[in-house]
């Protein structure tokens, strides 16, 4: 008997002994698919499920190969009892085979109410939890659901028989598999309370509340807290009513079995965040908004309007989450949130959308055109959050909607966009009682505003209980702040220090004053301002000044950054002030990488910002903020060249929003003395963190400032940064970076900026290496001399690396080896792993592309790859993998070519790199042709050619034509191959194009194979015809 276990982990037993399953990685998924589908499975269905991204012919071949591997891995089948049944079109696990399967046994037992107890013992965990193929998730979820259904039924059965110990044990088993299942906690509380264990019921709540605080930093749900209140209510209340015992808690029946939508309908792609607090109320609003989005007259542009803190964002996110769960999926292309709170300029709205959707601008097209092209045929929902400060970008939103008929957009904003077709939905306050003074706890908790106050109060004070003494005060607080969620949460945050009655007394004084000042307006925003004014009034003078100054910060900031911008307060330190603001819910605190960061909510930041802009010191403070982050950037830049570079990359990324604020202010105010050094300091970060496109934009704007036009050391350094950024961005046209560097060198000589001169010479020498080796040598020598004279060890290492490349070009390999060792030794001493990897990459590049010394190049690429993987440097990893793919194809190792290319492509996509992906697609197309998948080869090479056309890379387009000829010849279409190769030969001659080594190897092999297999007389007319074709005509054959 063969015993097969897939629940919990894969285990196999044969004749009661463990059996090792030695097979290909995809063999177990194939076997599991057959086991889970007992009827005959079509081979095409099996192929598409397990290899969805592979062509049909190749996928069917893989099915055959893995079936053979499965036969080999299993014990020999008995005569007449094969393990599976197969014919030309179907495959089936033999139902008569001598085998036992845990999933089948579980499903058999779970269908019988009398065998549920046996069934749950078979479920040892999720189905093959380490398998991540898309096809398995519906099966996994179905079994998990049936397991929980069985446990719920067992709880109900035991509960009905008053077998409390057994019911509690089954409920605890549910929590063992799903510790945060809150309805089960309520079931346990009820069970313990009914069994007479009141203390145990309260302990269940307290343990769960502690778990939620530890793991999610949230409080229990309203229903759970209400049940706790009912059980915890002292017996005096019952005694007053003449009762003997504590009244039974509100009805909270044992949780019913789950129901789910069809597991075969997966959720659409989305970036909706997991919410850490319960969504309370808003049932009518959700239904109304969903109708506006999905109804017969669906709104293309829906604006959720309302004052700050009214719950617009939370309503939009909850709607998005629920739309993801519908079947059929209303937005198959996805639901995506674009966070705009920290976006400072309307010009950055489209980049924010593109970044969220991972859309890179196409060559020759604007970003708007690229987004329109991407969205045109996609049924997708965008949620643009916090749009009120970016309304100037509304026309661009309208242009997206016009170009994409299936696109729908939800905007959360305090101001309408006021464009044609906009549908407004004012988000109302939470439900409030008409007469709060007369409310009892059971009645008060039904109002969502009160429920929110109770839930958030318990988050800061777990002992908070809504009772007869405070229910009226809580209801009055919610009414006084007009039911606005943010105001309620700010008030509830005081529950740690004040009773509801005390909160109401303090709130009342401030509200009365502001109401008297604003009698003519019914603007709910003024009510929120009253709540914030109240919080502000509770601060002392130093804390108020700090609160206002913190409006300068966008996103996360540290204590040190706050001290640098705000300076010490008059009566307390900045640290003390931050602590007070956190405790007053005016700041949020979080720990990232072991360091404490602070954030101010967008609404609160706006409130503080209004006070800041009214201050006569606003300009001074903005300049101080920009100067502080310039100082941070200049301190961080050298850290990217040392042993802590990975940590500092993350630190700069966290400060990026503030750096953007500083750059924006400096550029808008023409402050070249701030903008130029800031872009210079950030250039290395932009390159290493994958922000090259953004960096190019900032540098160009800084260089164009009127105050930046003089021949100054600051401009010269920024020109070097601009050139370095361009060189990282493209490897085709060096005209612009060369011009930057020549101006930088001239300015540096004129102003005596020796360090800047050295880096300018280093950059220009690098560019000239391929065209004027003598001039490159001169610039390289000059840079090395300056670096040594100024003691710049990092620059010296870079110069040595350039001279090593020059030695390689002169075939002075011993000299190159020594120079490279010297360069790497310095980088090693400095702890700069990134530069070690980069140095090895550029040396390998020279050996590979300029000297054709492929074995040595491969060794260096592999060394660089190891360094990149050790330090997590994606640029180095992706570059090394790309070039290793090229070398593997040269040596005709197509398996390695495909492996390297497929690892590199997602990294390059993440980095926004434009030039390497087309080359890798071309190499993959050649591999597909070799593997007999002509259709896939045609698509891959065609995509490569199209991308290269957009980039203007003529040489690569010719290489794409050669790849198409290779594909044609591999399919026996030698006439087409001859014409395409002839056209390519003409194009190469006309443009003097130098093919890359892998492309050259493919060209030579294809041409040799053609001439060896076709008689010259038969070949001649087709070759002649091809010579008359244009490049585009040959590609279109």
Q: 316 and 418, same structural domain?
A: yes
> Quick check: is 792 in a domain?
yes
Summarize the confidence of residues 456-473 as an average pLDDT: 85
Reading the block at residue 925, the tokens are: 């197309």
Distance CA 355, CA 338 (A): 9
Distance CA 485, CA 618 (A): 31
Q: Is 1004 within 8 Å of 995 (Cβ atoms)?
A: no
Reference 139, options 174, 107, 179; nearest CA is 107
Instruction: Name the one residue in this structure whose structure tokens are 């607090």.
Output: 277
| 254 band by pLDDT with thresholds 50, 70 and 90 | very low
Task: Tell me what pLDDT residue 528 has.
Answer: 56
Above 70 in pLDDT, residue 1003?
Answer: yes
Above 80 in pLDDT, residue 527?
Answer: no
Above 60 in pLDDT, residue 618?
Answer: yes
| 370 band by pLDDT with thresholds 50, 70 and 90 | very high
User: CA 292, 298, 299 angle in degrees (round to 5)?
Assistant: 80
Q: 823 and 851, same structural domain?
A: no
> Quick check: is 732 in a domain?
yes
What element of type H or E holds 62?
Answer: helix 56-73
Torsion sign (Cα): 845, 846, 850, 851: negative
> Quick check: is 320 in a domain?
yes
> Quick check: is 404 in a domain?
yes
Reference 941, options 924, 954, 958; nearest CA is 924
In sequence order, what DSSP letters do the residues of 902-916 get, joined into one string?
Answer: HHHHHHHHHHT--SH
Give tens-digit pLDDT for 630-675: 999 999 999 888 888 888 888 999 999 999 999 999 999 999 999 9
Q: 288 and 417, same structural domain?
A: yes
| 531 band by pLDDT with thresholds 50, 70 and 90 | low
Distance CA 465, CA 458 (A): 8
| 484 band by pLDDT with thresholds 50, 70 and 90 | confident
Q: How many CB atoms lie within 10 A of CB 142?
A: 17
What element of type H or E holds 337?
Answer: strand 335-339
User: What percent of the chain is modeled with pLDDT above 90?
Assistant: 34
Above 60 in pLDDT, residue 545?
Answer: yes
The SS3 call for residue 78 is: strand
Task: Tell me what pLDDT residue 778 has.
Answer: 94
| 405 band by pLDDT with thresholds 50, 70 and 90 | very high
Which one of 389-393, 434-438, 523-527, 579-583 scores highest in mean pLDDT? 389-393
Greater model confidence, 491 or 964? 964
Name beta bridge partners: 384.
Answer: 338, 411
Torsion sign (Cα): 705, 711, 713, 717: positive
Q: 530 and 567, same structural domain?
A: no
Provide the pairing of β-strand 41-42 with 90-93. antiparallel
> Quick check: is 653 in a domain?
no
How many Å from the N-terminal Cα to the C-terminal Cα in the chain? 59
Instruction: Name the one residue in this structure whose structure tokens are 């005709």.
Output: 892
| 241 band by pLDDT with thresholds 50, 70 and 90 | very low
Q: 994 and 898, same structural domain?
A: no
Q: 422 and 328, same structural domain?
A: yes
Q: 879 and 792, same structural domain?
A: no
Q: Find the CATH number of the domain harbouring 565.
A: 1.10.10.10
In which domain, by residue range, is 853 found? 832-913
| 351 band by pLDDT with thresholds 50, 70 and 90 | very high
Q: How many CB atoms lie within 10 A of CB 173?
A: 18
Among candidate residues 404, 426, 448, the one where a domain is terminated:
426
Give tens-digit pLDDT for 30-42: 999 999 998 899 8
Above 90 in pLDDT, residue 838?
Answer: no
Give tens-digit pLDDT for 723-732: 988 887 766 5
Summarize the confidence of residues 213-228 as an average pLDDT: 72
Can you give 405-453 as a three-state secondary structure string? CCCEEEEEECCCCCCCCEEEEECCCCCCCCCHHHCCHHHHCCCHHHHHH
> Quick check: is 519 in a domain?
yes
Under 8 Å CB-to-CB from 133, ≥6 apart: which residues? 29, 49, 50
In sequence order, what DSSP letters do the residues of 914-960 get, joined into one string?
Answer: -SHHHHHHHHHHHHHHHTT-HHHHHHHHHHHHHHHHHHT-HHHHHHH
Among candidate residues 519, 537, 555, the one where a domain is terminated:
537
Above 60 in pLDDT, residue 375?
Answer: yes
Reading the block at residue 313, the tokens are: 């964002």
Name beta bridge partners: 588.
Answer: 599
| 261 band by pLDDT with thresholds 50, 70 and 90 | very low
Can you give 84-96 as a three-state secondary structure string? EEECCCEEEECCC
Give tens-digit pLDDT for 734-780: 888 999 999 999 999 999 999 999 999 999 998 898 789 999 999 99
Q: 805 and 865, same structural domain?
A: no
Give tens-digit pLDDT for 60-99: 888 888 888 898 889 988 877 889 888 888 999 999 889 9
In sequence order, what DSSP letters do the residues of 786-816 get, joined into one string?
Answer: HHHHHT-HHHHHHHHHHHHHHHHHTT-HHHH
Cβ-in-10-Å burial (0-12, 13-18, 19+) of 293 comes to buried
Distance CA 428, CA 305 (A): 9
Q: How many CB atoms lie within 10 A of CB 613?
A: 13
Task: Tell me what pLDDT residue 512 has.
Answer: 31
What element of type H or E holds 1022?
Answer: helix 1016-1027
Above 90 in pLDDT, residue 404?
Answer: yes
> Quick check: is 941 in a domain?
yes
Task: Tell me what pLDDT residue 833 has.
Answer: 83
Reference 500, options 442, 445, 450; nearest CA is 450
Reading the block at residue 483, the tokens are: 């039911």
Task: Tell me what pLDDT residue 248 has.
Answer: 33
Task: Tell me what pLDDT residue 296 has.
Answer: 84
Q: 367 and 494, same structural domain?
A: no
Cis peptide before 328 (omega within 30 of 0): yes
Task: Tell me what pLDDT residue 511 has.
Answer: 33
Task: Tell me what pLDDT residue 534 has.
Answer: 59
Which one of 180-184, 310-314, 341-345, 671-675 scores highest in mean pLDDT? 671-675
For the chain, the domain total comes to 7
Reading the block at residue 305, the tokens are: 């309007």
Above 60 in pLDDT, residue 679?
Answer: yes
- Least confident window among 166-180, 181-195, 234-248, 997-1011: 234-248
Q: 863 and 782, same structural domain?
A: no
Can you give 262-308 as a three-state secondary structure string? CCCCCCCCECCCCCCCCCCCCHHHHHHHHHHHHCCCCCCEEEEECCC
Give tens-digit pLDDT for 810-837: 888 888 888 988 998 998 888 888 888 8
Residue-averaged pLDDT of the chain: 84
Greater model confidence, 517 or 942? 942
Q: 906 and 952, same structural domain?
A: no
Give tens-digit pLDDT for 891-941: 999 999 999 999 998 888 877 777 788 999 999 999 988 888 888 888 899
Task: Tell me what pLDDT residue 249 has.
Answer: 34
User: CA 104, 106, 111 angle in degrees (round to 5)?
Assistant: 100
Reading the block at residue 95, the tokens are: 């139902």
Task: Tell me what pLDDT residue 911 has.
Answer: 74
Cis peptide before 633 (omega within 30 of 0): no
Instruction: Name the one residue in this structure whose structure tokens are 């049932």.
Output: 283
- Model pTM score: 0.52
Q: Find the CATH number of the domain harbouring 407.
A: 3.40.50.300
In sequence order, what DSSP letters do the residues of 537-594 get, joined into one string?
Answer: HTS-HHHHHHHHHGGG--S-EEHHHHHHHH---SSS-HHHHHHHHHHTTSSEEEEETT
Reference 286, options 410, 190, 397; nearest CA is 410
Q: 355 and 305, same structural domain?
A: yes
Task: Tell me what pLDDT residue 237 has.
Answer: 36
Q: Which residues of 852-870 are buried (b: 16+ CB within 10 A; e: fewer)?
A: ebbebbbebbebbbebbee
Distance CA 881, CA 538 (A): 59
Q: Find the CATH number of the domain harbouring 858.
A: 1.25.40.10
Strands of the 557-558 sheet, one edge to the other: 557-558, 595-599, 588-592
Greater model confidence, 176 or 884? 884
- Least confident window among 416-425, 569-578, 976-985: 569-578
Give tens-digit pLDDT for 584-604: 667 878 878 878 899 887 667
> Quick check: is 132 in a domain?
no
Among candidate residues 514, 537, 560, the one where a domain is terminated:
537
């Amino acid at each position: 008997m063969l015993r097969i276990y897939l629940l919990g982990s894969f285990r196999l037993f044969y004749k009661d002994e463990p059996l090792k399953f030695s097979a290909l990685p995809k063999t177990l998924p194939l076997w599991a698919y057959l086991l889970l589908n007992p009827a005959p499975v079509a081979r095409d269905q099996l192929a598409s499920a397990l290899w969805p991204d592979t062509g049909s012919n190749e996928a069917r071949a893989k099915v055959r190969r893995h079936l053979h591997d499965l036969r080999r891995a299993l014990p020999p089948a008995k005569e007449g009892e094969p393990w599976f049944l197969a014919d030309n079109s179907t495959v089936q696990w033999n139902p008569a085979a001598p085998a036992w399967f845990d999933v089948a046994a579980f499903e058999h037992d779970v269908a019988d109410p009398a065998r549920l107890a046996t069934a749950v013992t078979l479920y040892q965990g999720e189905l093959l939890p380490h398998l991540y193929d898309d096809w398995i998730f519906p099966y996994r979820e179905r079994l998990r659901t049936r397991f929980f259904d069985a446990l719920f039924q067992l709880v109900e059965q035991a509960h009905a028989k008053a077998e409390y110990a057994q019911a509690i044990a089954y409920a605890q088993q549910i929590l063992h598999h799903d510790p945060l299942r809150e309805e089960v906690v309520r079931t346990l509380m009820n069970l313990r309370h009914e069994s007479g264990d009141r203390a145990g019921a309260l302990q269940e709540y307290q343990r769960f509340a502690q778990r939620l605080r530890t793991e999610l930093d949230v409080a229990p749900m309203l229903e759970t807290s209400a049940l706790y209140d009912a059980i915890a209510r002292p017996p005096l209340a019952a005694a007053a009513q003449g009762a003997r015992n504590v009244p039974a808690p509100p009805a909270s029946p044992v949780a019913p079995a789950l129901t789910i939508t069809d597991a075969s309908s997966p959720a659409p792609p989305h970036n909706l965040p997991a919410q850490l607090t319960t969504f309370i109320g808003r049932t009518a609003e959700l239904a109304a908004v969903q109708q506006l989005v999905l109804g017969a007259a669906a709104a293309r542009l829906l604006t959720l309007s309302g004052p700050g803190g009214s719950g617009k964002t939370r309503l939009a996110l909850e709607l998005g989450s629920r739309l993801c769960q519908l079947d059929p999926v209303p937005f198959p292309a996805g639901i995506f949130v674009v966070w705009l709170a920290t976006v400072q300029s309307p010009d950055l709205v489209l980049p924010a959308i593109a970044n969220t959707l991972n859309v890179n601008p196409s060559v020759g097209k604007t970003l708007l055109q690229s987004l329109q092209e991407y969205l045109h045929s996609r049924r997708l929902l965008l949620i643009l959050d916090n749009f009120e400060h970016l309304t100037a970008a509304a026309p661009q939103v309208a242009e997206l909607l016009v170009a994409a008929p299936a696109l729908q957009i939800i905007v959360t904003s305090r101001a309408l966009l006021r464009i044609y077709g906009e549908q407004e939905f004012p988000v109302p306050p939470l439900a409030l009682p008409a007469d709060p003074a007369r409310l009892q706890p059971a009645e008060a908790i039904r109002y969502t505003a009160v429920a929110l106050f109770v839930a958030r109060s318990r988050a800061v004070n777990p002992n908070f209980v809504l009772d007869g003494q405070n229910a009226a005060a809580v209801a009055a607080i919610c009414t006084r702040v007009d039911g606005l969620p943010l105001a309620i949460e700010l008030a509830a945050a005081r529950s740690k220090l004040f009773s509801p009655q005390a909160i109401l007394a303090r709130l009342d004084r401030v509200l009365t004053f502001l109401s008297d000042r604003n009698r003519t307006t019914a603007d709910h925003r003024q009510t929120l301002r009253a709540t914030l004014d109240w919080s502000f009034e509770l601060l002392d003078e130093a804390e108020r000044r700090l609160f206002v100054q913190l409006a300068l910060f966008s996103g996360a900031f540290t204590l040190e950054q706050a001290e640098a911008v705000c300076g010490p307060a008059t009566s307390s330190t900045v640290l003390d002030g931050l602590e007070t603001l956190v405790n007053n819910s005016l700041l949020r605190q979080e720990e990232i990488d072991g360091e404490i960061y602070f954030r101010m909510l967008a609404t609160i930041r706006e409130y503080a910002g209004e006070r800041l802009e009214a201050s006569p010191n606003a300009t001074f403070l903005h300049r101080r903020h920009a100067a502080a982050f310039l100082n941070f950037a200049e301190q961080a830049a050298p850290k990217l060249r040392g042993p802590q570079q990975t940590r500092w990359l993350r630190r700069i990324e966290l400060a990026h929003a503030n750096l953007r604020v500083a750059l924006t202010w400096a550029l808008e105010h023409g402050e070249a003395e701030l903008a130029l050094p800031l872009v210079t300091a950030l250039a290395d970060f932009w390159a290493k963190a994958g922000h090259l496109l953004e960096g190019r934009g900032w540098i160009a704007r800084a260089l164009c400032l009127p105050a930046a036009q003089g021949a100054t050391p600051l401009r010269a350094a920024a020109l070097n940064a601009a050139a370095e950024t361009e060189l990282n961005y493209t490897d085709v046209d060096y005209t612009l970076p060369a011009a930057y560097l020549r101006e930088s060198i001239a300015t540096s000589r004129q102003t005596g900026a020796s360090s800047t001169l050295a880096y300018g010479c280093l950059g220009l020498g690098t560019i000239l290496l391929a065209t004027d080796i003598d001039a490159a040598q001169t610039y390289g020598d000059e840079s090395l001399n300056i670096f040594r004279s100024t003691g710049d060890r990092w620059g010296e290492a870079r110069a040595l690396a350039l001279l090593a490349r020059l030695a390689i070009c002169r075939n002075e390999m011993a000299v190159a080896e020594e120079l490279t060792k010297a360069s790497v030794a310095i980088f090693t001493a400095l702890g700069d792993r990134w530069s070690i990897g980069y140095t090895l990459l550029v040396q390998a590049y020279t050996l590979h592309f300029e000297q054709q010394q492929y074995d040595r190049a491969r060794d260096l690429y592999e060394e660089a790859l190891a360094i990149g993987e050790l330090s997590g440097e994606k640029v180095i990893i992706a570059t090394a993998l790309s070039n290793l793919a090229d070398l593997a194809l040269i040596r005709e190792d197509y398996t390695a070519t495909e492996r390297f290319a497929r690892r590199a492509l997602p990294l390059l996509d993440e980095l926004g790199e434009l030039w390497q992906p087309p080359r890798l697609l071309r190499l993959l197309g050649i591999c597909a042709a070799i593997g007999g998948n002509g259709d896939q080869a045609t698509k891959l090479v065609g995509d490569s050619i199209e991308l290269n056309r957009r980039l203007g890379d003529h040489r690569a387009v010719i290489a794409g034509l050669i790849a198409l000829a290779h594909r044609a010849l591999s399919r026996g279409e030698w006439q087409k191959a001859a014409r395409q190769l002839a056209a390519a030969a003409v194009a190469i001659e006309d443009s003097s194009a130098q093919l890359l080594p892998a492309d050259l190897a493919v060209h030579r092999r294809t041409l040799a194979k053609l001439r060896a297999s076709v008689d010259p007389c038969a070949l001649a007319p087709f070759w002649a015809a091809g010579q008359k074709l244009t490049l585009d005509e040959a590609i279109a054959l």
